[in-house]
Every structure is written in structure tokens, then in C-alpha cells.
Amino acid sequence: MSGSSPFKMRLVHLDLKGAPPKVSYLAEVFPLFHALGANGLLIEYEDMFPYEGHLRLLRAQHAYSSSEIKEILHLATLNELEVVPLVQTFGHMEFVLKHEALAHLREVAFFPNTLNPHKAESLALVGAMIDQVMELHPGARWLHVGCDEVYYLGEGEASRQWLQQEQNTKARLCLSHVKAVASRVLARHPATKPLVWDDMLRDIPEDQLSASGVPQLVEPMLWDYTADLDVHGKALLMEKYRKCGFQQLWAASAFKGATGVSQALTPIEHHLRNHMQWLQVAAHGPADTLQGIVLTGWQRYDHFSVLCELLPVGIPSLAVCLQSLLQGGFAEDVKTRVENFLGMPSLEITGFTSDILALVTQVGLHLRSSVDEMLHRDRYVTGWFSSYHRRRKLIHPVMIQHIQPQALSLLGRWSALAGELEAALRRVFYPDAVEEWLEENVQPSLQQLQQLLQDLGEAAGPEPPVASPGLDTGQEP
């Protein structure tokens, strides 16, 4: 089913560090992933993995159980989706290093981002994490060990002292940890090839990369999520990596979660253009230069950031991007195929593929703007119940008749939609994710309306309100 795609492996990324779906939802979407052209999954478990023993503290409140992990892998097998687990082992270690019991393993004491590469306990920690993950993924051909965005590397006290020694550099420090992690993976799991994100390797000189021994141990994943990706620059980077000795390379695009930290709706055109550029990159290199591509779908920018687009909201974008990779481009026939797959009359933003997408679209496009329209542009509110009036509980009685029914109607309409959306979200996500998304995206606007109505009630009061000096109560609005 590869069509004219230059990517023989097409993996959908599940970023579980935010709004992890229930297994029942994965059972619904895995057949769709397969039908759209995916043949693998990159599962970034983070704190959703059921770590045991001294690592149990890493578990999130609603972490999957071992039996649920096995069910996910079974569902993947049924739908011909090869699973590649991802375990962060260097940067993006917040979910590990935020815990007081492990804080002494931070590179910089105040920041939980990065693991201290100088301590033997650090390697033992990530080794134990890997072993537990691999125990539930026997036979995995690849294991992604992260190693991206290793912020503040070299800024810890041990690193500062180490860097004072001649010939020691941050690049060498980075490569030594990557090599140590990869060597441990291969020693314990010789049939499993480690994958790494490539950003920490890009600027390291060829001779240093070649001499490090890292190219013989890992396969780098070149990631770029921009719509105007530099095709020629990527082709040169692939050539550099091949010269250094890397046998296989991977690409990583994005179908969601890469256009704004608090993005609620997925801009399909941006992600389609990103995939069109990656098709050009693949065409620039020798055949089979790229082992495959991962379509990343980020759910948070990091462990502490807000949620970006929910997975059900990103499905149309995923469908467009996968089908474009499969067919080698995006034309009218591909658009029609996607619409048929999703049961959509149109790929326009008003198209309907799921209750969550439809309801989130309503919230994203209209909730805040409709409330802002009333609070900041309605002539009765801005003219007779401004912030000045609200603080002093002043209002012309006739204005209550103009403002209150409209505010009640708006609040009732959005409250009903919010209830419908909450019920839909609860079918797919755990309670904490539902609470977080609604609190970030819905509640602020509803609370503004509730506060307006409360202020109106207090201003009306049991006694007729005192007119503000200069207010001509006889003037018609």
C-alpha cells in the first residue's frame, strides 16, 4: 500500500505527556491510521507508562496498566502498525527530574529539563526505565531514546569543571552520553536499534561525529515542522550524516502541535506544506536514504506547558498528511479520498468528523469572540455598564432589560455546548485532561459572563440604584 511514497515506514506519533487517550479510543483510531497509510506508531509514553519498583513515582495518576499497554500493542498488531517506544534519556526529563527524590540528578540544580551526564546514577536511571519499557515491548526493532533539546547542558557545576579540561567541549559531552545510552541499549537488547532526534547533532563537525562512534550506534531522526522547510539545507544535512557513518536516517514532520503552544485548532494547510517539503527532501537524496518518516503530533511543548490541539481535532490534518505521503503529493483525488475516509463533506474547517472536532471548532472560532463582542463592543454594556459602573454598582434600571436577557442567552447557549463537549471529551480522555482543557479554553469566557450577570444583579439590588452624576436618565439610548 506504499503507492509512490519514498517513505517505506510511516509512523504516527502519540505524545502521551498530555491528554493521553483511553485505550477504547485508540481501538477506534488505529484502523483509521492503517487505512490512511500509516504502518507504525511512535509512542512517547512519558509518565503514562506503568513503571514499577523504585520508578513507580514516575507514573501519572491515570497511567496505563501493564495489561492496557499489552492491549495497545495487540490493537497495533491487528492493524499492522509496528510500535516504536520512546523513552527520553537526556533532555525533556521534567517528568522524572521534577521529583524531589531524583532532583539530585539534574544537570542544573534549579531546572528539571536535563539529566546530569556525569553521574553513574543517571545512566543507571535511564537504563532501568528502558529495561522496563522494553520488557513490555519484546521484539521491538527500534527504541527512540530522545536526546533532543538538551537545554543547559554544560551549565551544571560538574560540567563546568569538566569543560575546563583541554579538548573537552559541550559537543563531546553530548556525544559521550548519547553513546553511553545507545551502548547500553544494544548490550541489553542487541536486536533493537536506538533512534535519536538530530537537533543536538546538527552543528557538530563531521570529524567529531565520525570519531565519536555514535554513527555506528544510532539512527538520527531529522525533524523540522515548518511550512517553509529548507529543502536544500536538509539534503546537505543528510549528506553530512551519511558521510559521518550513519547507516540509516529518518525524517520527522508534524501533523499537529507545532504551530502554537496553546493552539486549539489545527491549521491543516501549514502541516500539508510541511509534508510537501519533506517529499522534496526525500527526492533530493539517493533512494532509501530515509528509512521512514514520523508524523509527530505534539500534545504539549513540554511537561509543564498547556495542552495544544487534542488528537481528535488533529485527525483531518493527519489524514491529509498521511495520504499525501502515500500518494507522493496532494491533488483533488487525494482530497476526495481523505473526505471519504473521514466521512466528511468537505475538508474546510466547518467539516464534521467527530463531535469533539465540531464542538472544539465552535469554541475555538466563536466562544471568546462572542463574549468579547458583548463585553467590549455592545453599546449598552460599554455605554451604561462599564468597568467604572460595575465597580460602583451603578446602572440605569432600563439598561438591565437590554443587557441581562442577552447575557443570559449567551451564557445558556455556551453552557449547553460546554456540557455537550465535556461529555464527548470524557468518552475519549481521563478526567484530569478534560478538566484542564475546559478550564483553559472554555471556563474563562463563561466566568466573564457569569461575573457580568452577578454585577448586574448587585447593581440592580433591592433598592433602585442611585444615578451617576451627569447621567440623563430620561435620554433614550
What DSSP assignment string belongs to 234-293?
A: HHHHHHHHHHHT---EEEEEEEES-S-TT--S--HHHHHHHHHHHHHHHHHSPTTSEEEE
Using alpha carbons, list the distances in angstroms from residue 329 to 3, 19, 20, 140, 238.
11, 31, 31, 31, 22
Dump the DSSP string for 178-232: HHHHHHHHHHH-TT-EEEEESTTTTTS-HHHHHHHSGGGT-EEEEE---TT--HH
- The answer to whether residue 149 is catalytic is yes
Angle at 435 between CA 431 and CA 438, to 5 degrees: 135
Dump the DSSP string for 162-192: HHTSTT--HHHHHHHHHHHHHHHHHHH-TT-
Sign (positive or negative) of CA dihedral 26, 29, 31, 34: negative
What residues have CB less than 8 Å from 171, skipping those under 6 apart? 203, 204, 205, 208
Is residue 356 within 8 Å of 310, Cβ to Cβ? yes
Q: What is the mean pLDDT of each run of 10 residues along the chain (477 residues)?
A: 77 98 97 96 98 98 98 98 98 98 98 98 98 97 98 98 96 98 98 98 97 98 98 96 96 98 96 97 88 97 98 96 93 83 63 75 96 97 97 96 97 97 97 98 98 96 54 43
| DSSP run (H or E) holding 14 | strand 9-15
State the CB neighbour count (10 A cutoff) for residue 123.
Answer: 18
State the CB neighbour count (10 A cutoff) for residue 329.
Answer: 13
Is residue 13 classed as helix, strand or coil in its secondary structure?
Answer: strand
Q: Residue length, the chain? A: 477
pLDDT of residue 477: 40
CA gap 188, 87 in Å, rounded:
15
Q: Which three cell numbers stand for residue 123?
A: 545512566
- Of the candidates 250, 127, 259, which has an alpha carbon nearest to the alpha carbon of residue 198? 250
CA gap 248, 265 in Å, rounded:
34
pLDDT of residue 348: 54
Is residue 103 classed as helix, strand or coil in its secondary structure?
Answer: helix
- Of the candidates 8, 68, 112, 124, which has an alpha carbon nearest to the alpha carbon of residue 430? 68
> What is residue 133's DSSP assignment?
H
CA gap 369, 366 in Å, rounded:
5
| Pure H helices in 429-442 | 431-441
28, 68, 149, 436: the catalytic one is 149
